């Protein structure tokens, strides 16, 4: 139980610092705040609502990992380094793919709702 409490504390601290320092995290949390009620308007099915909300949460997760990678890279150097640029670009690509998946999921769900 102690380990669970410590993990929860670490999670909270990580989210708090990310929210305070990263505009992308704030934007994605705002998207989550909109996605939760919107999911209830788009579909009556619990599994579909979970999927719609889940892809937004997945986007936040990927953004947090990308931010952690960027912060770690910046600990080594802020100077131009080709290897670090490639690492940061790969993290950014992961965020982009996650956003595309979320957009596609929402587009399909809204399309189904309109054509029912």
> What is the distance between the alpha carbons of residues 68 and 41, in angstroms, rounded to a whole number?
34
- Residue-wise pLDDT for 91-113, tens only, equals 999 999 999 999 999 999 999 99
- Residue-wise pLDDT for 38-67, tens only, equals 999 999 999 999 999 999 999 999 999 999
With respect to residue 78, please indicate whether it lies within any of the assigned structural domains: yes
With respect to residue 2, please indicate whether it lies within any of the assigned structural domains: no
User: Is the pLDDT higher at 105 or at 79?
Assistant: 105
- Annotated catalytic residue 63: yes
Confidence of residue 85 (pLDDT cuts 50, 70, 90): very high
Say which CATH number the domain at 35 has.
1.10.287.3610
With respect to residue 8, please indicate whether it lies within any of the assigned structural domains: no
Query: Domain range holding 68?
Result: 23-114
The whole-model pTM stands at: 0.89
* Domains contained in the chain, number: 1
With respect to residue 46, please indicate whether it lies within any of the assigned structural domains: yes
Active site residue: 28, 63, 70, 79, which one? Answer: 63
With respect to residue 32, please indicate whether it lies within any of the assigned structural domains: yes
Print burial letters for 66-81: b (CB count within 10 Å at least 16), e (below 16): bbebeeebeeeeeeee
């Amino acid at each position: 139980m102690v380990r669970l409490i410590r993990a929860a504390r670490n999670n909270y601290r990580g989210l708090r610092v990310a929210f305070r320092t990263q505009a992308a995290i704030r934007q994605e949390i705002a998207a989550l705040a909109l996605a939760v009620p919107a999911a209830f308007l788009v579909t009556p099915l619990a599994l579909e609502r979970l999927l719609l909300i889940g892809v937004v949460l997945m986007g936040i997760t990927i953004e947090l990992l990308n931010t952690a990678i960027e912060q770690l890279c910046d600990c080594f150097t802020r100077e131009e380094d080709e290897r670090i640029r490639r690492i940061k670009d790969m993290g950014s690509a992961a965020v982009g793919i996650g956003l595309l998946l979320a957009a596609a999921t929402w587009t399909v769900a809204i399309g189904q709702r309109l054509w029912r």
